[in-house]
Amino acid sequence: MNRGTFYVAGGLWAKYSFEHPWGTFENWWKHRERNYEVCNAKAQRFWAEFSHDKEKQAKIFADRSFRRKIKRILDSDRPYTPAAAS
């Protein structure tokens, strides 16, 4: 759907208009913008906190590394090979 100078994915609007036949495009667009702003604010708060808390950052990175290692060990499609020392 062409909306001025940008295009809107037809599937999202079609689903909304099917579920809410009384809704207008403007209402749908305001809802999408509000959701974007809320998620953006949450992400900014997370990254601000994450950047300042070095202990939390180290713990998250260690947990992610551990999860990747376990996933690689448990992957039955490929045999496990330990990481090569460089």
- Residuewise pLDDT in 10s, the chain (86 residues): 445 555 666 777 777 778 888 878 788 888 889 999 999 999 999 888 888 888 888 898 899 999 988 888 887 777 666 767 65
Q: Are 56 and 50 in contact (CB under 8 A)?
A: yes
29 in any annotated domain: yes
pTM more than 0.85: no
43 in any annotated domain: yes
Can you give the residue range of the structural domain that contains 32? 24-75
37 in any annotated domain: yes
Rounded to 5°, the CA angle 3-34-30 comes to 35
Helix (H), strand (E) at residue 2 = strand 2-3
Number of domains within the chain = 1
Which residues lie closer than 8 Å to 32 by C-beta, 6 or more apart? 12
Residue 2 pLDDT: 46
81 in any annotated domain: no
Residue 9 pLDDT: 63
